[in-house]
Amino acid sequence: MKITITKVLLLKLLFVQLTYSQVYNDGADITIQPDAFIHIDGNFTNQGGLISNDGAIEISGDWINTVNSNPLNPGSGVVILQGTEQTIGGEFNTLFNELILQSDQETTLEATIGIEKEVDIAGGTLELNRNVLHILNADSEALVVNGGGIIAETSDMYGYVRWDIGNNANGLYTIPFVDTLQSAIPMTFLVEEQGDNENGYLLLSTYGTDENNNPLPLDVGNIQISGDGSGLRVVDRYYFVNAVDYDLLPSSAITLTYATNEIEGNNAIDPEKLSVINWDGSMWVENEESSVQANTVGTTLNGNYGEFALWSDPSTSVQELNAVDLIQIYPNPSVDKVTFEIDSHTSEVSNLIVCNSNGQRIIESTTKLLAGNNRISLDISNWAQGTYHLRLQGENTFSIGTIVKI
C-alpha cells in the first residue's frame, strides 16, 4: 500500500506511525516540531514541497528525493534510518541536520548527501558508491562511529568524504573507512597548522587494488618510486588526501591503514619497513619521515597533498618475488618513431599504457607477446615534446620505460 500527502501537515508533540510501504510527499509542506516523531514503515519519496524538521523522522525503507535540490529544511531535527539494505538517493541531493544510520547492514548512497551537524554510523556500513558524503560542520566530532564504517570503493571507481574544516586549527579528524571485506582501514588527519581560508575543505578517499596495483588512480600514470619500478613492494591500496580552496594549505599529520591481505600474495613487502609515498605528477616519491605501527603508517604533510600509497623500502632483506624489467627503447630521444624490446617468458596478452608527464593516458591498448624477444614500434610523430612513461603489464610480465619526444 501507499499514501500520498498533498496538503500541509503539522506534527506537534505526538507520535505518528505510517505503516505504508510507500509514502509520497506530492507538494505538501510538512512541519515536524520539537518532540514530534514520525515513523515510516517503508520508503519515503519527496516529489515536491518542503519538510521542516525540528523533531525526528524514522524510516525503515529508502529516502528518495526526486524534485528539489534541498527538500529538507533540516532545522534541529534528526533523520534515522533503521531498516536493512537502505539507500539514500533520487535525482537530487539532500541536506540533513543530523543523520543516524542504525542498520547493521549497508546503507548505499545513490546521491550526494550533506550533513550540517552530525552523522552517526551506529552499525553496518555507509557505501559511498561513487558519491560524496559532505560534512559541513568543521568540528572533528561531526562524524560519529559506533561499530560501523564507510566503504569508499566500488569495482570501478570510488567516492569521497568531503569535510569542510575551513581554517579550524584544532581536532583529529578520523574517517572510519572499511574495505569490501569489512576490515577496518581508518584514516586520520591531524591539523598541526591551520590553513588560510574559512571555505577550505578536505577530500578523502581510498580503494583497494589487485596485486599489480591496478587500477591506477585516474591522474596517476605509473608506479615508479624514486626511479625504481617496484610495484610488488607497494601495498595493494591507494589513498587520497586533498586540501581544496586554501590560500595557504594546512600543515598536517596523517595515518593510513591497510588490511593484512593487501600485503600478502606475490607482494614483496616487509610491514616493518613501510613508508608513505606521494605522487608528484610523474612518479612516486617517498616522504622523508614515516612512522609504522600495526597495519598503520603515518607521516607529516607540508603541502604535498594528493594521491598516496604505502611502500616497502627495497633496502630490506625481503626477496622480491617477481622482478620488474626496464624496457629497452630506441632511438630515445626520438622525433617520430620508437621501438622497444621486451623479453617474455611465456606467450600472453599484455596491457600497454603510455602516460604523459601529467599522468594523462594517451595510449591504452593490448598487445600480444610471444615467448622470447619481442619488438614493438610506436609512432610518436604527433606527440607533444616531453617525457612519457610506458608500462607493459600482463599476468607474467611487468615492464616500464621512459620515452623522450623531441
Tens of pLDDT along 236-253?
A: 999 999 999 998 888 889
Task: Decide: residue 82, CB within 10 A, 0-12 exposed, 13-18 middle, 19+ buried.
Answer: middle
User: What are the structural domain ranges in the chain?
Assistant: 2-312, 325-405
Averaged pLDDT, 282-311: 86
pLDDT band at 5 (very low <50, low <70, confident <90, very high): very low
Please report the pLDDT score of residue 269 as a whole number.
81
pLDDT digits (tens, 9 = 90+) for 252-267: 899 999 999 998 877 7
pLDDT digits (tens, 9 = 90+) for 76-93: 899 999 988 999 999 889
The C-alpha atoms of residue 203 and residue 234 are separated, in whole angstroms, by 23
The Cα angle at residue 51 between residues 115 and 80, in degrees rounded to 5: 50
Q: DSSP label at 250?
A: P
The C-alpha atoms of residue 43 and residue 90 are separated, in whole angstroms, by 12
Residue 329 grid coordinates: 627503447
Please report the pLDDT score of residue 211 as a whole number.
77
- Residue percentage of the chain with pLDDT more than 90: 36
Question: To the nearest whole number, what is the mean pLDDT of the chain?
Answer: 82
pLDDT band at 20 (very low <50, low <70, confident <90, very high): low
> Does residue 105 carry a pLDDT above 50?
yes
CA distance to 230, 249, 315, 353, per residue, from 369 (Å): 22, 47, 32, 15
Residue 238 grid coordinates: 591507494
pLDDT digits (tens, 9 = 90+) for 185-221: 999 999 888 888 889 999 999 999 887 788 888 778 7
Tell me which of 2-11, 35-44, 108-117, 171-180 is least confident.
2-11
Q: Does the model's pTM come out above 0.85? A: no
The Cα angle at residue 327 between residues 321 and 333, in degrees rounded to 5: 150
pLDDT band at 357 (very low <50, low <70, confident <90, very high): low
pLDDT digits (tens, 9 = 90+) for 109-132: 999 999 999 999 988 899 999 999
For 325-405, CATH number out of 2.60.40.10, 3.90.330.10, 1.20.120.160, 2.70.98.60 equals: 2.60.40.10
CA-CA-CA-CA dihedral for 207, 210, 211, 214, to nearest 10: -80
